[in-house]
């Protein structure tokens, strides 16, 4: 779920990171008008450059497609994601206070508490302007 829209990884485009024959990461995205939205990112090994490599592929795609920005949404509790994205040049551009209450109406399995016991309440949008 992002911005109250539901995605399934099999329904959007993406890139898979491989090391040898082993799949070690996945990033999915959707192109919307003049931007690309990253809808998910997963890495089986942290701090190995897998996520950074996947993000670079999406940014390169955006450049070659002449898009104006790369955007993504995370939640207020996801401190690791906020650090990851900002270190790669993304900026916080919008906070949607209370957005997760609405999102839970569509996806009730989203927990009330997230990382470090922080209540999951808000969506945070980050962007990279190209």
In a domain, 2, yes or no: no
In a domain, 61, yes or no: yes
Tokens of 30: 């959707």
In a domain, 3, yes or no: no
In a domain, 1, yes or no: no
* Overall number of domains in the chain: 1
- Average pLDDT per run of 10 along the chain, which is 130 residues long? 63 93 96 94 93 98 98 96 97 97 92 95 97
Q: What is the CATH number of the domain that holds 33?
A: 3.40.630.30
Q: Are strands 35-43 and 69-75 parallel, antiparallel or unpaired?
A: parallel
> Residue 3 phi/psi, 5° resolution?
50, 45
> Residue 115 phi/psi, 5° resolution?
-55, 140
What is the C-alpha separation between 127 and 81, in angstroms, rounded?
Answer: 13
**Pick from 33, 38, 35, 51: nearest CA to 12:** 38
Structural domain that includes position 119: 9-129
Q: What pLDDT, on the 0 to 100 scale, is given for residue 34?
A: 96
In a domain, 65, yes or no: yes
């Amino acid at each position: 779920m992002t911005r109250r829209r539901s995605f399934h990884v099999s329904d959007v485009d993406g890139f898979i990171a491989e090391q040898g024959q082993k799949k070690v990461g996945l990033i999915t995205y959707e192109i919307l008008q003049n931007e690309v939205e990253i809808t998910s990112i997963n890495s089986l090994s942290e701090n190995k450059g897998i996520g950074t490599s996947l993000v670079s592929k999406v940014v390169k795609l955006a450049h070659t497609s002449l898009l104006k920005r790369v955007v993504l949404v995370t939640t207020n509790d996801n401190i690791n994601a906020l650090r990851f994205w900002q270190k790669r040049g993304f900026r916080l551009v919008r906070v949607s206070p209370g957005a997760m209450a609405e999102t839970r109406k569509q996806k009730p399995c989203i927990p009330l508490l997230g990382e470090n016991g922080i209540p999951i309440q808000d969506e945070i949008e980050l962007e990279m302007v190209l």
